[in-house]
Amino acid sequence: MKVKGQHYRTIWFAPPVVFLIEQNLLPFSFQIVKCADFQATCRAIKNMTVRGAGAIGAAAGFAMAQALLAKVDPLKAKKEIEATRPTAQNLFYAAERVFQAADPVACAQKIADEDAASCQRIGELGSQLIIDGMRIETHCNAGWLAFVDYGTALAPIYAARDQGKNVFVYVDETRPRGQGARLTAWELFNEKIPHAIIPDNAGASLMSQGKVDMVIVGADRIAANGDVANKIGTLEKALAAHEYGIPFYVAAPTATIDLQCASGQDIPIEERSEKEVTHQSGINEEGQNSTILVCSPGSTAYNPAFDVTPAKYITKIITERGVVAAPAALFL
């Protein structure tokens, strides 16, 4: 991705330091964070300085390499890394692979490079599904920032634009963290792709009016039967798309597929802080970053970070190996 004309990856490794973009400050401030040891990288995953399936997978791989370089007990470090976030399969895939590697630094770097290459290929394959003039809705952020580079749900859109196709994107706000309004919109603005931020609960209405031609979302874990865990609210979009006959695609690298997970019922769903629901952060009139209470004082909140969309509501899954109906078919 490019920011002010300079190319960046979301995360990169100059042993023993991990560098990453501070996503909690976007789109108001662009800063690079340095994580000097694996504990710091773990904190960055946990507090969502880095987020998105592929990006936290790369972070987990780099963290595992940091721990091994520092001669930290490997099993203890691996458990600490895997405890940072429970839903995204890429995190567990990367930590295990580096844990087993003869050269952990080279392995961690290879995982990051593979993630970028897979996303680029997803863009190439997914762009073939996009027709000039399409209006596409997406949910949360599955662009550059969610992966090492290129992204998944947004990669076909970027590739289609590069092919000269005109595309318009409806960007779900994606409460409670607003990652659509903050991150996806920021990416699309930087890429000069026409788009509009819409309330999360506007998608079905737009679909009913014939204003959405396709939905593309990312994934945090895909079960063997094709059920998909993704940002909370994805299921609602899939149900609405199914009702109105709109193609609903999931874009994800094969590293997101968990063949040991038979169905979506087996995917652990992370529950996050109530404060993400009850409070909102942004820039105030004085240009300062501030957090305010936006809900009834004293009320409690329930904040599941993900939901599961059954395979029957998914048109196809776009991976770097092909566009398929069920992920297990890729490995037969």
Would you name the residues annotated as active-site residues? 220
Q: Which residues of 48-75 are buried (b: 16+ CB within 10 A; e: fewer)?
A: bbbbbbbbbbbbbbbbbbbbbeeebeee
Contact (CB, 8 A) for 101 and 64: no
Q: Which residue has the tokens 């295990």?
A: 96
Task: Please give the C-alpha separations between residue 106 and each of 79, 113, 262, in angstroms, as whole numbers.
Answer: 21, 10, 32
Instruction: Name 160's Cβ contacts closer than 8 Å, sequence gap at least 6.
Output: 127, 130, 134, 167
Q: Is the dihedral of CA 149, 154, 160, 165 positive or negative?
A: negative
Rounded-to-integer distance, Cα 50 and Cα 52, Å: 7
CA R_g for the chain = 19
Rounded-to-integer distance, Cα 285 and Cα 271, Å: 32
Q: Which residues pair with 6 in a beta bridge?
A: 3
Rounded-to-integer distance, Cα 92 and Cα 255, Å: 10
Beta strands 248-251 and 316-319: pairing type?
parallel
